[in-house]
Amino acid sequence: MVVATHRPSRVLIDESAIYNNVTHAVADLDDSSALFAVIKADAYGHGLLRVARIALAAGATGFCVAVLDEALGLREAGYTQPILVLGIIEPQYAELAAQHDIAVPVAERDWLQKAAKSLTGELPLKVHTAVDTGMGRIGFTSDADLRAAADYMQAHADKFNHEGIFTHFATADSLDKTQFHQQATRFNQFVAALPVRPKYVHVANTATSLWHRACHSNIVRFGVGIYGLNPSGREISQTPYALQPALSLESALTQCKHVPAGTTISYGATYVSAAPEYIGTVPMGYADGWLRRMQGFHVLVDGHECEMVGRVCMDQFMIRLPHAYPAGTKVVLIGKSGGKEITLQDAAEYAGTIHYEIACCLSERLPRVSINKISES
């Protein structure tokens, strides 16, 4: 997608906020643990290479991504730190991962057998066995199958390096700890079933690192906390350290017009002005990831909350203004204006989703602009 640099809509990324979030997380680690920065999905919309650079400067020692291509992108950019892909890759790409020293998960013994056919043995493939303790996503579900896979890797040590074992908690961000403790117990059983404990044993996502200590994990997979977002939304408000939101979103008016009562706005004429009103047009829409269902939400103009009226279009939306403003007046969608603030959480709650989705939906058409830059040194 072409980046739209010749319009005022843009995402601002506060590098100092990312740096501070990672620094606090690293300081909160115990002596035996390391922090791997989760920078999948273009670092939750914040920029893969930008966040990789800042996270390393702040003390991260490895990375987690979702797909092999993200890992290859880091290697091509010159990053030599450990990288773990969190999603299952196709077995025919096992040799490609091994050549680039990229660790991958395995959830079935059959996958190992298929992958072995593509592995030359010149460099063994680093493998982290995924175990399903209650997430229901990927992972071994029986001790016997896990042992069989571990035995297979041990018997084919020229092809496989069983580097780690991990699981993912489904409710670490919830006040109710019942399932969390059940999953922790099950994970410990899986680890005990292994003939040899691998180098990395890890369960801790951001929520686990903030509110739990479990399973003697020696990697924290620090994800949404990097970006200053509370993984529980508003359910658990207290965190061991302040999380600083790194993303803001802004645009500017392209037009402001005075319309009489009875004027229809946008597709479907779903909004009709009840009285003479000032209507402003903002050059952003659902093609930029500002979702169509945001109709009726508000933005900030000069400290005023201005309702989004009419349906959000692909490339534009309209707002009701308190009075006339000139074209070029700043419009804040996420961030602060005149003492008021709109957060990703606010937008997510209105849209009936989570802040992760709002951040990830912001499309590549929106330029990402760094502020408060952190140097590499």
Q: Please confirm, yes or no, whether 286 is among the known catalytic residues.
A: no
Q: Of the listed 114, 117, 257, 267, which one is catalytic?
A: 267
Contacts of 237 by beta carbon, 8 Å cutoff, 6+ apart: 230
In contact, 266 and 286? CB cutoff 8 Å: no
Residue 62 to residue 357: CA distance in whole angstroms: 24
Place of tokens 């201005």: 306
pLDDT score for 215:
67
**Joined tokens for residue 100:** 């680039």
Q: Which of 110, 71, 109 is nearest to 87 (CA)?
A: 71
Structure confidence at residue 33 (pLDDT): 92
* 114-147 pLDDT tens trace: 999 999 978 999 999 999 999 999 999 999 999 9
pTM above 0.85, yes or no: yes
Locate CATH 3.20.20.10 in the chain.
15-227
Residue 63: predicted pLDDT: 98
Q: Is 320 annotated as a binding residue?
A: no
Q: Which pLDDT band holds residue 375 (cuts at 50, 70, 90)? A: confident
- Cα separation, 313 vs 306, in Å, equals 17
Decide: 201 and 217 in contact? Cβ < 8 Å: yes
CATH fold for the domain made of 15-227: TIM Barrel (3.20.20)
Digit-coded pLDDT (tens) for 143-181: 999 999 999 999 999 999 999 999 999 999 999 999 999
Q: Using CB atoms within 10 Å of the CB of residue 104, give its burial: 0 to 12 exposed, 13 to 18 middle, 19+ buried.
A: buried
Give yes or no for residue 340 having a pLDDT over 60.
Answer: yes
Whole-angstrom distance, CA of residue 68 vs CA of residue 309: 42
C-alpha distance from residue 108 to each of 94, 113, 149, 150, 216 (Å): 14, 9, 7, 10, 24
- State yes or no: is 267 an active-site residue: yes
Q: Is pLDDT above 70 for 345? A: yes
Q: Are 352 and 293 in contact (CB under 8 A)?
A: yes
pLDDT, mean of residues 11-38: 96
Residue spans in the chain of domains classed CATH 2.40.37.10: 247-371
Averaged pLDDT for residues 201-229: 91
Q: What is the model's pLDDT at position 377?
A: 55
Q: Could you give the percent of the chain with pLDDT greater than 90?
A: 96
pLDDT confidence of residue 140: 98
Sequence letter at residue 245: P
Residue 166, classed as helix, strand or coil, is strand
DSSP string, 15-58: HHHHHHHHHHHHHTS-TT-EEEEE-HHHHHHT-HHHHHHHHHHH
Average the pLDDT over 242-259 and give the result: 98
Give pLDDT tens digits for 222-241. Answer: 999 999 999 999 999 999 99
The answer to whether 135 is annotated as binding is no
Catalytic residue chosen out of the listed positions 19, 40, 200, 350? 40
**pLDDT value for 77:** 98
Q: Which CATH superfamily is domain 247-371 in?
A: Lyase, Ornithine Decarboxylase; Chain A, domain 1 (2.40.37.10)
* Digit-coded pLDDT (tens) for 309-337: 999 999 999 999 999 999 999 999 999 99
